[in-house]
Amino acid sequence: MLASSAILAGVAVSGAAQAQDIDFTIAVSIPAATHGWTGGVVYHAERAEAEIEAAYPNVDVIVSTASSATAQVSALEDLTATQDLDALVILPFTSEELTGPVAQVADGGTFITVVDRGLTDPAIQDLYVAGDNIAVGANTATWLAEQLGGEGQIVVLRGIPTVIDDERIEGFTQVIDETNIEILDIQYANWNQDEAFTLMQDYLARYPNIDAVWANDDDMLLGVLEAVDQAGRDDVRFALGGNGMKQVIEMVQAGDERTPISTPYPPSMIASAMYMTLAQFTGQAPMRGSFLLDAPLITPENADQFYFPDSPF
Amino acid sequence: MLASSAILAGVAVSGAAQAQDIDFTIAVSIPAATHGWTGGVVYHAERAEAEIEAAYPNVDVIVSTASSATAQVSALEDLTATQDLDALVILPFTSEELTGPVAQVADGGTFITVVDRGLTDPAIQDLYVAGDNIAVGANTATWLAEQLGGEGQIVVLRGIPTVIDDERIEGFTQVIDETNIEILDIQYANWNQDEAFTLMQDYLARYPNIDAVWANDDDMLLGVLEAVDQAGRDDVRFALGGNGMKQVIEMVQAGDERTPISTPYPPSMIASAMYMTLAQFTGQAPMRGSFLLDAPLITPENADQFYFPDSPF
């Protein structure tokens, strides 16, 4: 059986691509495309899988998506039951539910790369890759404070109650607190475009003057913009998000006056984590540690560097 | 000329490897092998160059070594005069002398990756890769304090006056200060084996009892061990370095009682930086940010993970 499979494989491949043994197996466990950002994660993970397997025929990358924390736990069980994983790159659905299952995978000797949402016990991971959420908030606030001359009235939308959201808000409010800008209100809209639309309608009904709104995330920004446009409110001089969503970068590129900047918190960080994990195995490159992505302002001048036309996000 | 070269190239290559255009050029500027650690840097840079060019025929990696800061500045001028660099990976000889020249390269649109020794102005770099020197000192001190039961008399050797050395000493002394361990003396030996030998001879002559010595670096540790052995001093229970030099990891693997641990500050971090820079260009992987390598204790149980038999370091 084995011998004839090998012969068949030999017939099927061209001169360039010889059938090779797989030396390393890297599993990538990510949330399914439940919103724009995770849609980008799935796109970039699958793209990096193809790129890596083309460059390294001896590496097998397995991308597995899950639509809930429970489904992700099951997916981990399936992945480890059927093969020996050299590495697991995981963007945990939730920290609490995934910590135990990932610890079990680590106990089996698998290199663990955690992306974005940390586990409850950081000692489990070998490599941590994340965006700088404090900088996302602080860089946005610094720009806004300068534009508003250090005064005015603004509203803020929060995401899902998580460390990520806490950090963004912390970075933002620390800068704003040192100005005369008043935060009229700050409420959760769960990184959801529809909820952001509804919350912004409420803000607009309650506050006759809003100089600027910070939506904390570009998905929510789209809902905010719709609400402001429907209300025909000209007082809103700036409406800012964050994450570097494709549609928002297009606004930045076009010189939109209300949304002239964004900050990257790119879903392609899953690819960064995959390439870094790969280097641990294909090179002698030590990759244990923490990689914190910068969050530079995306402006009309540099927007093309953050724009991936084929990406859904 | 060009056409006939191409034909010759076509004859020389096998079916698998077609002559391809170079899409990306990555220059790597590093110090020459002036001591053990930089010898490891050169080895790992050249190894990663070969690995990367084999996996990506459209990437050209140019490794350039320099034996002084002035020579490194000249090398940068040569590299940028003769070709268009997409990226520069640089381990600066000194921070002060290289900051201006690297800023000039950055102004030309080249992606800048700085390794280990930071520039005076961090805003110049796109990516920073470094070891965790605070952890190198603190993890060593924590282990040593436990072994000594929180008391005893020790001596410490410092390296070259740099931020790196300051951080290691800071991490070490912060932990030791919370114990009853007395640091008898702490002097510079410039990460040099011969100077460490001389300094340790002086320490041994002046202090009749030394429970442990921390050499801060494995090159210096070799000098320290030679001095202790020549003096026949049995009071020195532990002699520890740091960096994960091959000879020292061999001691750890062999269960040496006086040097049972090391901490990694691997010269192969140049390879980590090269692979990360590569991902910025070959993938859609965002690589702007800071990567801080962990410094876990190297023990007999995990020493093989940190041991590269072919490396000079």
Shortest CA gap A6–chain B (Å)? 19
A2/B88: higher pLDDT: B88
Share of chain A above pLDDT 70, in %: 94
Contact B276 A271 (CB under 8 A): no
Best probe of the A interface among B59, B274, B287, B308, by most A CBs < 10 A, is: B287
- Distance between CA B214 and CA B221 in Å, rounded? 8
DSSP 8-state assignment for residue A83: S
pLDDT of residue A284 exceeding 70: yes
> How much is the pLDDT for B137?
96
**DSSP three-state, residue B240:** strand
Q: How many residues does chain A have?
A: 313
Using pLDDT thresholds of 50, 70 and 90, give the confidence band for residue B205. Answer: very high
Cα angle: A243, vertex A244, A250; to 5 degrees: 150
On average, the pLDDT of chain A sits at 90
Coil, helix or strand at residue A192: coil
Token reading at A168: 């963004």
Q: Does A116 touch chain B (CB under 8 A)?
A: no
User: Which of A42, A51, A287 has the most B C-beta neighbours within 10 Å, making it the best mutation to test the interface with B?
Assistant: A287
pLDDT band at residue B35, thresholds of 50, 70 and 90? confident
Reported as a single tens digit per residue, the pLDDT across B45-56 is 999 999 999 999
Is residue B282 predicted with pLDDT exceeding 90?
no
Q: What is the pLDDT of residue B20?
A: 60
The Cα of A208 is separated from the nearest Cα of chain B by a number of Å equal to 41
Q: Cα–Cα distance between A8 and A81 in angstroms, integer? A: 28
Contact state of B275 with A272 under an 8 Å Cβ cutoff: no
Provide the Cα torsion B89, B93, B94, B100; round to 10°: -50
Chain A residues with CB inside 8 Å of B308's CB? 284
Query: Comparing C-alpha atoms, which of A297, A311, A282, A268 is closest to residue A91?
Result: A268
List chain B residues with CB under 8 Å of A308.
284
DSSP, collapsed to helix, strand or coil, labels residue A87 as strand
Give per-residue burial for B226-259: e unless 16+ CB within 10 Å, then b: bbbeeeeeeebbbbbbbbbbbebbebbeeeeeeb
Output b/e per residue, B274-283; b: 16+ Cβ within 10 A: bbbbbbbbbb
Bigger pLDDT: A230 vs A244 = A230
Residue B1 pLDDT level (bands cut at 50, 70, 90): very low
Q: Is the distance from CB of B136 to CB of A293 less than 8 angstroms?
A: no
Distance from CA of A299 to the nearest CA of B (A): 16
Is the pLDDT confidence value at B4 over 60?
no
Distance from CA of B60 to the nearest CA of A (A): 15
Q: Mean of the per-residue pLDDT values for chain B? A: 90
Q: Per-residue pLDDT tens for A61-102?
A: 999 999 999 999 999 999 999 889 999 999 998 889 999 999
Amino acid in position A30 = I
Which residues are paired to B182 by β-bridges? B153
Q: What is the DSSP letter of B27?
A: E
pLDDT value of position A20? 60
**Does A55 contact B51 at a Cβ distance shorter than 8 Å?**
no
Q: Residues B182-200: pLDDT tens digits?
A: 999 999 999 899 999 999 9
The pTM for the full model equals 0.84
pLDDT at position B80 over 50: yes
Residue-level pLDDT at B162: 80
8 Å CB contact of A266 and B286: yes
What's the average model confidence in pLDDT over A166-184? 97
**DSSP at A296:** P
> Does position A19 have pLDDT exceeding 50, yes or no?
no
Residues facing residue B152 across a β-bridge: B181
Whether residue A114 lies within 8 A of chain B, CB to CB, comes out as no
Alpha helices in chain A (DSSP H): 2-12, 36-55, 69-82, 95-107, 133-147, 163-176, 193-206, 218-231, 246-253, 269-282
Which residues in chain A have their CB less than 8 angstroms from residue B284's CB? 44, 47-48, 268, 271, 308, 311
Instruction: Extract the runs of DSSP E, i.e. beta strands, from B215-280.
Output: 238-240
User: B125-145 burial, b for 16+ CB within 10 Å, e for fewer?
Assistant: bbbbbbbbbbbbbbbbbbbbb
Residue B298 with chain A: CB contacts under 8 Å = none
pLDDT reading at A13 higher than 70: no
pLDDT class of B250 with cuts at 50, 70, 90 = very high
Looking at residues A171-191, what average pLDDT do you find? 97
Q: Could you tell me the two tokens for B61? A: 């990696």
A65: phi then psi, degrees, rounded to nearest 5 = -105, 150
Q: Give B302's pLDDT tier (boundaries 50, 70, 90).
A: confident
* pLDDT surpassing 80 at residue B6: no
Model confidence band, residue B67 (pLDDT cutoffs 50, 70, 90):
very high
- Which among B48, B56, B283 has the least Cβ separation from residue A283? B48
Interface of A with B in 137-166 (CB under 8 A): none
Consecutive H or E run containing B168 = helix B163-176
Probe site for chain B from A291, A297, A298, A304 (most B CB atoms < 10 A)? A291
Measured between CA atoms, how close is B235 to chain A, in angstroms?
A: 36
Per-residue confidence at B11, pLDDT binned at 50, 70, 90? very low
- For residue B111, give the chain A residue with the closest CA: A305
- Chain B closest-CA separation from residue A190 CA (Å): 26
Task: Collect all residues of chain B within an 8 Å Cβ-Cβ radius of residue A274.
Answer: 285
B293:A286 CB<8 A: yes
**Token pair 């680590």: residue:** A106
pLDDT of B309 reads 84
Cβ neighbours of A16 in B, within 8 Å? 15-16, 18
User: Is the pLDDT assigned to residue A130 strictly greater than 80?
Assistant: yes
- Bridge partners (DSSP) of residue A180 are A151
Q: Do A279 and B272 touch (CB under 8 A)?
A: yes
